[in-house]
């Protein structure tokens, strides 16, 4: 039986027009139903530093980017059964894994005031299809910490370990997963993605610590409408 999941607001990367991709972090996901009460979400966290070209004679790219992120998953009236565990993310971190899908699931943008409103952009993920998730990002060593917030929520934090003097932005993607169980028929919850330490960097990925240069970068940035605010999406199975 085909499953259907609605995402509100439709802010996943796959639905964002390329001309409007002005965030330092993006979120995408793929759902699967392991059984009638258990759902798995594979989350793709995309780090995307934004270039700002500066200079008169020799132009160089400066950047605004995030040195880490916080991700929180909450299952409404549900329980988290399994999730990505904390680990050390080495320099030029790269990993991949392959899994087979249990159910055919469609995700669609749009649930408004309790009434289902389907918008263009519906995506189907086929049953029994193998899917390989590959993640890679370049950075100094980071830590991925996971904290269980009761039975129904999990929090991840990607951050620099204590001590480094040089801090660089992240670029690339990181995959996390969570499996949650619901006692009732309504499978729903919330995912929040929040950048941490959004800073300005020079062309060598070094933080700009000059207040005057940072103010100038902020002025230029203001004209580019860069968004570094938290992203919150709500998911809900529609039966």
What average pLDDT does this structure show over 134-139? Answer: 63
- At 144-187, the pLDDT tens digits run 898 988 889 999 998 876 655 556 777 778 889 999 999 877 88
Pairwise CA distance, residues 178 & 162, whole Å:
27
CA of residue 105 relative to chain centroid, distance: 20
Pairwise CA distance, residues 124 & 101, whole Å:
12
Whether the per-residue pLDDT at 118 is higher than 60: the answer is no
Q: What is the pTM (predicted TM-score) of this model?
A: 0.78
Pairwise CA distance, residues 220 & 222, whole Å:
5
Pairwise CA distance, residues 71 & 226, whole Å:
20
pLDDT band (50, 70, 90) for residue 15: confident
Range of the domain at 29: 3-237
Strands, E, within the chain: which ranges? Answer: 3-8, 25-33, 38-47, 50-54, 60-75, 78-83, 87-89, 93-100, 105-109, 111-112, 115-116, 123-125, 130-138, 142-148, 153-159, 171-182, 188-201, 231-237
Total domains in the chain come to 1
Q: 74 has which bridge partners?
A: 153, 190
Q: 94 has which bridge partners?
A: 136
Whether the per-residue pLDDT at 220 is higher than 80: the answer is no
Indicate the DSSP class of residue 164.
-
Count of alpha carbons within 13 Å of 181, Cβ hemisphere only? 7
Per-residue burial over 220-239, b = 16 or more CB atoms within 10 Å of its CB, e = otherwise: bbeeeeeebeebebebbbee
Whether the per-residue pLDDT at 79 is higher than 90: the answer is yes
pLDDT band (50, 70, 90) for residue 113: very low
């Amino acid at each position: 039986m085909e499953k259907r999941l609605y995402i509100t607001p439709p802010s996943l990367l796959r639905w964002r027009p390329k001309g409007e991709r002005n965030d330092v972090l993006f979120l995408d996901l793929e759902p699967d139903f392991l059984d009638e009460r258990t759902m798995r979400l594979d989350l793709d966290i995309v780090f995307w530093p934004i270039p700002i070209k500066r200079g008169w004679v020799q132009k160089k790219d400066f950047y605004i980017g995030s040195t880490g992120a916080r991700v929180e998953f909450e299952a409404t009236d549900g329980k988290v059964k399994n999730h990505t565990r904390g680990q050390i993310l080495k320099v030029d971190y790269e990993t991949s894994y392959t899994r087979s899908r249990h159910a055919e699931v469609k995700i669609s943008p749009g649930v408004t005031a309790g009434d289902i409103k389907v918008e263009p952009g519906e995506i189907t993920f086929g049953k029994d299809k193998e899917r390989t998730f590959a993640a890679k990002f370049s950075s100094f060593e980071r830590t991925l910490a996971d904290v269980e917030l009761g039975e129904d929520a999990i929090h991840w934090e990607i951050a620099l370990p204590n001590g480094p003097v040089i801090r660089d932005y992240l670029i690339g993607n990181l995959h996390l997963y969570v499996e949650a169980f619901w006692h009732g028929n309504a499978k729903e919850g919330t995912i929040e993605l929040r950048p941490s330490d959004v800073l300005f960097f020079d062309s060598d990925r070094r933080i700009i610590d000059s207040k005057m240069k940072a103010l100038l970068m902020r002025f230029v940035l203001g004209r580019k409408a860069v968004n570094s605010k938290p992203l919150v999406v709500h998911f809900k199975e529609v039966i």
